[in-house]
Chain A
């Protein structure tokens, strides 16, 4: 049997025809200069990942320090009061595994795929995660090179980094964003793998050809890839966001358990910490993450999206709908 023929047949089997929506891309080049974009297909898991980072990571870090005491200063960290965290789901090129793809002039730097503002009220009862569509055209704060101008919001991050995105969003929303956390989503897989997988009880068999994910029902150990697929599943259970969030929570809690156990094994811990260092960038200290993480573990999160409509100057881009957007952020004050 000819191997090329077999490959072609496999290709034919994997192929999808172009959807009618492809035409949306037709005039995209007319409206913007090239910039990096990433598909939003993994957005669903971001909250889970962030929670993992906020919960599991510091737990491990802190437990590891053990009796040596938490912080150099030793004083308790105060993360009380309402906290707003800017969450950025990014994909970076600086990972080890990416290096072999070579430095391309365009492929350096970071891309914001998902931008979310997580508001945690003082009582920690109900957090709100507001996702900001990356196609939003916004007035960027003048922190990038050149004067303030109207750009797509993820370009603000590409060019000015997290600090600039934060300033821009603070201006736009009127909220103070206390912290930023950038998560390399691909790193989630590595984190899970570094912990030797995560044990989850899957309520019903999963067969999701789109995600190429097949799981049997019952308790089992998921590797990073499967865990990621599992938290990302959309059409499963009752198919609601709520059930997805629940699933994410299950994985997070299981991961947390695993992380606590990992502390016992220095080699495993080392691997995990290396992965974490690569995948999470934040201005939160370990202690703050720990505090926030333990508090958030109990918190219900509701997901919202900034109300938008087509931008008058550029119909393939979005503008925030006022007064709705203002009202939404006002409610988070």
Chain B
């Protein structure tokens, strides 16, 4: 989508370069805006995603001087900012999940062979999944989704949220436990 100019090095170098040359910061956008967009679009839908991504970079830019340059990878930092912004939309996020809960599962599977079985399963239980997500406390949900949807590691989530790794683990475990409980003994293949 966005053309990537010659690689200038690790993120932290871009951040420090942007201290004197604000334009350098735009390359961070080129690197990560699509990724952040996809992440928000999962949690909040495409509606607010564009604006939130823009605002993430706006805030990141204003905080660039406090960036810890010992971390080469800026993703956790950006995800951390984005997570705070997503929190403002907790209402629409919950609404979104609850809508999934109500929406009838598209039962027809035209050509099962073309589908990855797992995909079908996820669709079959998406009501349960969405219900569990909607019911999770925000803190647990942030951790769970940063891992499942943001593809961050435990350490990166810890950095993004400014919490110890142990806390990430416990929140993740709690979140997963609740998701599993919501799935119950359901065998997804037998769902209507």
Contacts and interface: CB of A to CB of B under 8 A. Distances in A.
Interface of A: 1, 3-30, 32-39, 41, 91, 93, 97-98, 100-101, 104, 106-107, 186, 189, 210-214, 225
Given A212-B99, A213-B99, A104 B84 contact: yes
**Most B C-beta atoms less than 10 A away, residue of A16, A36, A97:** A16
Contacts of B58: 28-29, 32, 34-35
Nearest to A208: B99
A189 B98 CA distance: 14
Contact of B55 (A23, A37, A91): A37
A12 B149 CA distance: 8
Interface residues of B, number: 64
A15 B40 CA distance: 8
Nearest to A6: B122
A16 B46 contact: yes
A22 B34 contact: yes
B79 to A, nearest CB: 14
Given A20-B1, A107-B88, A11 B42 contact: yes
Contacts of A21: 50
B55 A101 contact: no
B148 A4 contact: yes
Given A29-B58, A212-B96, A11 B123 contact: no
Contact of B121 (A1, A91, A214): A1
Contacts of B53: 18, 22, 25
24 contacts: A3-B183, A5-B118, A6-B118, A6-B122, A7-B122, A7-B149, A8-B149, A17-B37, A18-B34, A18-B38, A22-B53, A24-B50, A25-B54, A28-B58, A34-B55, A34-B61, A37-B55, A97-B91, A101-B87, A104-B84, A107-B87, A210-B46, A212-B96, A212-B99
B168 interface: no
Contact of A11 (B50, B121, B149): B149
Contact of A28 (B45, B54, B91): B54
A25 B41 contact: no
Interface in B124-161: 125-126, 129-130, 138, 144-145, 147-149
**Most B C-beta atoms less than 10 A away, residue of A10, A33, A91, A186:** A10
Contacts of A12: 119
A7 B88 contact: no
A29 B25 contact: yes
A35 B62 CA distance: 10
A22 B33 contact: yes
Contacts of A41: 47-48
A102 B151 CA distance: 25
A28 B34 CA distance: 16
Q: Interface majority SS on B: helix, strand, loop or mixed?
A: helix
A225 B47 contact: no
Contacts of A14: 41-42, 45
B114 interface: no
A22 B37 contact: yes
Interface string B1-41: 11000000000000000000011011001100110011001
A29 B61 contact: yes
B152 to A, nearest CB: 13
Closest 6 CB pairs of A and B: A25-B54, A212-B99, A9-B122, A16-B41, A29-B61, A18-B37
A27 B61 CA distance: 11
A14 B95 CA distance: 14
Contacts of A91: 88
A17 B58 CA distance: 21
Contacts of A23: 1-2
Contact of A186 (B57, B91, B121): B91
Nearest to A101: B87
B160 to A, nearest CB: 15
B42 A26 contact: no
A93 B88 CA distance: 8
Contact of A3 (B49, B59, B95, B179): B179
Nearest to B119: A9
